[in-house]
Amino acid sequence: MRWRSSGTDVLTTVIETLRVRGSVFCRSELRSPWGMSLQARGVAHFHLVERGRCVLRMRGMRHAVHLDTGDLVMVPHDRGHVLSDPEVVPARAMIAVEELDSQGACWYLCNSGRGAETRLVCGAFQFERDHLHPLLSLLPPLIHLPWTDGLVPDWLEATVRLLAAETRAPRAGTETIVTRLTDVIFVQLLRAWAETLPVGQGGWLGALRDQQVGAALGLIHCEPQKPWTIATLAAAVGSSRSPFAARFRELVGEPPLTYLTRWRMQSAAALLGEGRLTVAEIAERVGYESLPAFGKAFKRRTGGSPSSWRRRRRPQ
């Protein structure tokens, strides 16, 4: 099933509140035996196999994931993992790179091995608005787009090839180009993964492909300030109340108004962090005429008042 085009890009609105900042912290040309240990550091990691083969082992996963030339993989959650050549790697051949992604530069790694060569581009996505975000909770432990299975479309191939070229031969403007390309890769990874989901899986991300539920999600994201009810949402997308409510809950995993409240609070949290609007203005923007009602709903969702949230999240 193909994605339905609408005036509101739900995925875009959600990603904008997440505030993704991508970077490439390591380019490597390694010959077996080799291993690379990446510790969990509050980021999502991604890896592009530019040439060769390797395996990825993640804590808590029973089996290793085999990666080949052209494969793209993302570890969305804060989990340590190991990349290595396909053979068993001696401890002395292991490279710890847990500090590299905190240095603000792209490192080049090589080793003294004499076996088969593997070239990797490794990066990270940092999320400024990760608390209680409706996107991150939906993602699996690993997103793997194997090149050999035809899951990597032409436009994604072009993006990752340009990323590899820029990191291999940096020039003036490379840092800006790499930042933009990693942002694109994050969105494309999500989109490509969601398009492989069976109907009824993936929460609201998979539900975007349903004509009526996807349209309702668009309305919620575009106009959260409106006094939506199940009946008005159903009417707006050309459905009757009960079938719409049942279908929404089946695909999204929660009732329409529960999702509406969650999105309102997420939007409010992002606005509070920006610091440009007053709490009263934010309450009105997300659909609350009463400031006490907004404060109560926000505290119920986040555990703190809007003002305390703003103080904690304000950039230093």
Q: Where are the domains of the chain?
A: 19-194, 204-313
Q: Look at strands 65-67 and 35-38 and give their pairing.
A: unpaired
Q: Are 107 and 100 in contact (CB under 8 A)?
A: yes
Q: Are 32 and 120 in contact (CB under 8 A)?
A: no
Instruction: Give every strand in the sheet of 54-58, ordered side by side.
Output: 65-67, 54-58, 81-84, 35-38, 94-96
Q: Which of 136, 192, 141 minimizes the C-alpha distance to 14?
A: 136
Per residue in 2-35, pLDDT (tens digit) is: 444 443 477 777 777 777 888 888 889 999 999 9
Helix (H, G, I), strand (E, B) or coil at 155: helix
Per residue in 250-304, pLDDT (tens digit) is: 988 889 999 999 889 988 988 888 888 999 999 999 999 999 999 999 999 888 8
Q: Report the CATH superfamily, name and number, of domain 204-313.
A: Homeodomain-like (1.10.10.60)
Q: Which of 100, 58, 55, 50 minimizes the C-alpha distance to 76?
A: 58
Which of 49-58, 125-134, 139-148, 300-309 has the least mean pLDDT?
125-134
Q: Report the CATH superfamily, name and number, of domain 19-194.
A: Regulatory protein AraC (2.60.120.280)
